[in-house]
Chains A and B, each alone.
Chain A
Amino acid sequence: MNAVNFGYMISVARGIDLDRNDLTSARELGDEMPEFRACIACGGCTATCTAGNLTSFNFRMVQTLVRRGEYAGAYREMNKCMLCGKCRLVCPRGINTRGVVMLIKRKLGDY
């Protein structure tokens, strides 16, 4: 049965609610690869990203959201990565960014 269309809809809250988000996976990712937590959000990775220049992929944003427990779509987004590794060359914190991509793909495939 179709839902009754009242001609309006209720907006879903777009805020990040850290009381509701399950941070277990974020914590596990950090434990497995502590450098994952060391991001200072400079955006160097995203600026140089081959995929990001052709698609809406924003590596910095997606991995930040993962650390906040916002996993939805992360796996799909990471599939845009071509693993060229330029991001790793520019990261001032020396994070193995390509490793982060693979880690997220391995751990968050269900989201």
Chain B
Amino acid sequence: MQAALSLAADGLKPVIVERSGAVGGKLRDWHRLFPTMTPAQEVLEEMAGRLEHAGVEVMLHTEVEGIGSKGVTLAEGKTLDAAAVIVASGFDIFDARLKEEYGYHVYDNVYTTVDIERMLNKGHVALHDGSAPRRIAFVHCVGSRDEKVNQRHCSKVCCITGVKQAMEMRELFPEAEIYNFYMDIRMFGPGYEELYQQAQQESGINFIRGRVSEASPTIDGRIQIKAEDTLVGRPMKMTVDMLVLIVGMKAAGGNERLAASCKGVTLAPSGFVAPKDMFAGSVETGAPGVFTAGAATAPKTIGESIAEGAMAAEKVVEYLKKAK
């Protein structure tokens, strides 16, 4: 969205090709954004409003097949002429069912962070039977930093998401015990470390360093989890009412199709689109005229994705001037 806005501001005619029925991507499902707790809807409405005001053409429900020499190939064999392309196709959410040991879609009260965002948006967070949880555990790094599911990379935003949601749970359930099981806590952004400390100190969230090895049902329908409390070197177990899996970002399924269709576009071992280089060419690909913005190349925050949109637009303008 930002890339299109920047291009339109430069007097060019961008077209957004969107697979779903609305622009905004995953942001449409999010409730509040870390670390400021800004409503996601606020950011979305502002961006969408600016798009409309700028008169940017949006093609909804349109699938991209690939990028050819003449432009973008669409699903029905149509071609959209384009002098340059910005790939802003984002990421897929890790399918938590693949971590079978956590029992997602097996036990009733195992949720993902995405489920929690949707529940928060609906204004009703509760257990399967409608009751309030007394004990909640969050599991960090589900589908991140895990060779067992072929996701070796760190998804980077999940740590702060886990902290944010734990604090939201504290607001909703003041009496509940809340535990976050982590391998490392990576608070890379401005205000993140401060939010983490606030979660510990003011919200009383218990952070336990250790990866949950398995979840099993108890006779009363709760969930028993096991981990090592690595800070004291002893195994630990506990029963919880609600288990929240903090799912990571997976490379978008369409990346392979993109790389196959477009000469020069390559993928990193993680499956994300490989940038031309990691520094000055971070929004360029190996294909001239094909640029990237946002989580197509790696897990990113919303702020970072928006910044990359503006940057990619600038690179497009530069590219078009040279091409003339």
Contacts and interface: CB of A to CB of B under 8 A. Distances in A.
B150 interface: no
A16 B201 contact: no
A54 interface: no
Interface string B240-254: 000000000000000
A15 B236 contact: yes
A19 B238 contact: yes
Which of A14, A15, A16, A41 counts the most chain B CB atoms within 10 A?
A: A16
A68 B201 contact: no
Interface residues of B, number: 18
A29 to B, nearest CB: 11
B239 interface: yes
Interface stretch (B52-60, B121-129, B227-235): B227-235
Given A16-B234, A61-B231, A35 B239 contact: no
Contacts of B239: 19
| Chain B residues touching A, majority SS | strand
B20 interface: no
B177 interface: yes
Interface stretch (B152-160, B202-210, B315-323): B202-210
A56 B204 CA distance: 29
A64 B237 contact: no
A83 interface: no
A18 interface: yes
Contacts of A27: 204
B236 A18 contact: yes
B238 A18 contact: yes
B235 A38 contact: no
B69 interface: no
A27 to B, nearest CB: 8
Contact of A37 (B201, B229, B238): B201
A67 interface: yes
B202 to A, nearest CB: 7
Contacts of B270: none
Interface string A25-61: 0010010001101111100000000000000000011
Interface of A: 14-19, 23, 27, 30, 34-35, 37-41, 60-61, 64-65, 67-68, 70, 93
27 contacts: A15-B234, A15-B236, A16-B229, A16-B232, A16-B234, A16-B237, A17-B236, A17-B237, A17-B238, A19-B239, A23-B177, A27-B204, A34-B201, A35-B201, A37-B200, A38-B197, A38-B200, A38-B201, A41-B231, A61-B231, A64-B229, A64-B231, A64-B232, A65-B232, A67-B206, A68-B232, A93-B197
